[in-house]
Chain A
Amino acid sequence: MFGYVKPYKPEMKIKDYDVFKAYYCGLCKEIGRRYGETSRLTLNYELTYLAIFLSGLSDEEIDIKLEGCIANPLKKKPVIKENPFIMYAADMNAILVYYKFIDDKADGKATASSFLEVLFRKQFKKSYKLHTKKAQNIRKHLETLQNLEKGKCSSVDESAEPFANILREVFLYENLDIDEEDYKKVEEIAYHLGRYIYILDAYNDLKDDIKNGNYNPFIYQYNLIDKDGEIELNNTLKEIDEWTKFNLTFTLSTIVKLCEQLKFKKNIGIIDNIFRIGLYMEFMRIMEGEKSCRTHTKF
């Protein structure tokens, strides 16, 4: 379910790109330091963005150092150290990754998941101790999600809600120096971002889910199963595309409207790039095939 929240590189300033990389590498190293080297493989863009977004709302100074990395030991790269938001993102990563494996196991999607679940249980427990209430809430939303899936929920919007609530929970960092009104906006932005991720992911998986006989909300919203139990997608694909495009673009426009009301103290270039271009380009890339903007995929 991850990998959609990233900047659109062609429109990014070099300095923003460097800061983005510094957060990315900083988070990767922090995960390694706190949760062990194997956990570094679970790093993803969404959590990097979490650190960038929260950090943008705060006054703390960032400490960038040049360091080498296991992946590339000779070339030194900018890395952000000792940043509370990166530490927080590392904790959230441990919780989300563990729950994802549990979820996959429940779906019967991947046999490797049981093994991985055991592998990451220790990390999860450590983070769980630090953020117990949050982890419990996330768990609750995941259960709601599983129930909706079991009940073959026929509304894409409705099935996106538990995940939207999970992201809301993840973005709710308690020690920000902002007022209650702004907290509400942050929550709402996170909620809509969660909706965007879930719906895009469901759209992206639709063909595979049909092939493998897995649940997907689009199948039931558009009554794709005929009398013989066969699934015919091609007749409705255009309608689905149009609707999804509208839904996602409108969701992004709502996020941008909320963002304009927040005062960011830094990282605004990255945040603007992601909300105003990156997320839109990402779903256009998925809808229109990979080739529409190749530069976007690799970092």
Chain B
Amino acid sequence: MQNPYEVLGLKEGASIEEVKRAYRELVKKYHPDQYADNPLKDLAEEKLREINDAYKAIMDGYAGSNNYNHDRSYNSGNTTYSDNESMYYEVINALNRNDLYAAENILNNMRDRSAQWYYLYGHINYRRGRFGEAYNCFRMAVNMDPNNMEYREALNNMEMQRGVYQGDVYRRTMNDDCCQTLFTIWACDTCCECMGGDMFRCF
């Protein structure tokens, strides 16, 4: 196995905060959603798997045993990061595998519903096509933690897609209505002029 620190672009012995930051950025970079219609999709998925494995290996190392062991137990006691965080990490993993059922199960078993909880739940709903629920979840996450750019981006993306569609409807229908109004005014004006009046000077 490749050195997990190298996979994340870090030096051996980087702090846990650095690992988390690097991991988050890489996941964002290689997320399948970014490559929806892209020939690089498979490559990105492969890369994401490597990143996940590396992150898991490092976290497992922190969690106790120092070998890169995949079977980590949550209740090992001497974890250096909180329980919630390890659960969220499992949820992200399940989402990357597209195992929505597992991801939802973990979230449903959590009592503490933070901004991140809503953000992740929003993603599950989104992938299920439950767009209304997803929208509510993302909005909740942004309300609870307004400074988090990731949450804001998820909400913005949805609002943007909706806006583009709506703009297109207006472009296809309103333009003509404008022309029609102008034409009507012009026609009225012409009629009036025939009869000696003038509604609008400029015509």
A contact face: mostly helix, strand, loop, or mixed: helix
Task: Report the bound CA distance from A164 to B131 in whole Å.
Answer: 13
The distance in angstroms between the C-alpha atoms of A10 and B174, with both chains bound, is: 11
CB distance from B179 to the nearest CB of A (A): 13
A156 to B129, CA, bound (A): 12
What are some 11 contacts across the A-B interface (CB < 8 A)?
Answer: A10-B176, A157-B129, A164-B129, A243-B132, A246-B132, A250-B135, A253-B164, A253-B165, A254-B161, A261-B37, A280-B166
Q: Which residues of B contact A157 (CB under 8 A)?
A: 125, 129-133
Enumerate chain A residues within 8 angstroms of B172, measured Cβ to Cβ.
Answer: 11, 276-277
Q: Which of A8, A156, A164, A261 is within 8 Å of B132, CB to CB? A: A156
Known: A11-B176, A155-B133. 13 other contacts (CB 8 A): A8-B173, A157-B129, A157-B132, A157-B133, A158-B130, A191-B129, A243-B132, A250-B131, A250-B161, A256-B168, A257-B161, A276-B168, A277-B173
CB distance from B97 to the nearest CB of A (A): 19
Residues of A153-184 whose CB lies within 8 A of B: 155-158, 164
Q: Does A252 contact B (CB under 8 A)?
A: yes
Which 5 pairs between the two chains have the least Cβ-Cβ distance? Answer: A253-B165, A247-B132, A157-B130, A250-B131, A250-B162
Min CB–CB distance B117 → chain A (angstroms): 17
Per-residue B-contact encoding for A53-91, CB less than 8 Å = 1, 0 else: 000000000000000000000000000000000000000
Chain A residue nearest to B177 (CB atoms) is A10
Q: How far is the CB of B122 from chain A (nearest CB, A)?
A: 12
Within 8 A of A (CB), among B141-173: 158, 161-162, 164-166, 168-169, 172-173
CB distance from B196 to the nearest CB of A (A): 35
Report the Cα distance A253→B172, complex, angstroms: 15
CB distance from B51 to the nearest CB of A (A): 27
Complex Cα gap A251–B166 (Å): 12
Interface residues of chain A, those whose CB is within 8 Å of chain B, are 8, 10-11, 155-158, 164, 191-192, 195, 199, 243-244, 246-247, 249-254, 256-257, 261, 276-277, 280-281
Most buried by B among A8, A157, A249: A157
**Residue positions of B touching A, CB distance < 8 A:** 37, 125, 129-133, 135-136, 158, 161-162, 164-166, 168-169, 172-173, 176
In the complex, the chain B residue whose C-beta lies closest to that of A275 is: B165
CA distance A8 to B169 in the complex (A): 11
Alpha-carbon gap, A276 to B173, bound state (A): 10
A249–B131 Cα distance when bound, in Å, is 10
User: In angstroms, how far is the closest chain B Cβ from the Cβ of A134?
Assistant: 21
Q: Is the CB of A249 within 8 A of B129?
A: no
Known: A157-B125, A246-B162, A261-B37. A251 touches B131 (CB 8 A): yes
Residues of A within 8 Å of B129, CB to CB, are 157, 164, 191-192, 195, 254
> How many angstroms from the CA of A134 to the CA of B147 in the assembled complex?
49
Shortest CB–CB separation between residue A268 and chain B, in angstroms?
A: 14
Which A residues touch B132, using CB under 8 A?
156-157, 199, 243-244, 246-247
Of listed B37, B125, B168, B169, residue having the most chain A CB within 10 A: B169
Residues of chain A contacted by B125 (CB below 8 angstroms): 157
Q: How far is the CA of A243 from the CA of B139 in the complex (A)?
A: 12
Q: How far is the CA of A276 from the CA of B131 in the complex (A)?
A: 18
| Set of chain B residues within 8 Å of A191, measured between Cβ atoms | 129
Is A276 within 8 A of B130, CB to CB?
Answer: no
Rounded to whole angstroms, the CA-CA distance of A164 and B158 in the bound complex is: 21
Q: Which residues of B contact A158 (CB under 8 A)?
A: 130, 133
Alpha-carbon distance between A243 and B158 when the two chains are bound, in angstroms? 13
Q: Give Cα A209–Cα B188 distance, bound, in whole angstroms.
A: 48
Task: Report if A254-B131 is in contact (Cβ < 8 Å); known contacts: A157-B125, A249-B162.
Answer: yes
- What is the bound-complex CA distance between A191 and B128, given in angstroms? 11
Chain B residues with Cβ below 8 Å from A252 are 165
Residue in contact with B135 in the complex, picked from A10, A11, A246, CB distance below 8 Å? A246
Given contacts A246-B135, A247-B131, contact A277 B169 (CB under 8 A): yes
Most chain B CB inside 10 Å of its own CB: which residue of A155, A158, A246 = A246
Q: Are B173 and A256 in contact (CB under 8 A)?
A: no
Measured CA separation A174–B133 after assembly (Å): 33
Chain A residue with the shortest CB-CB distance to B164? A253
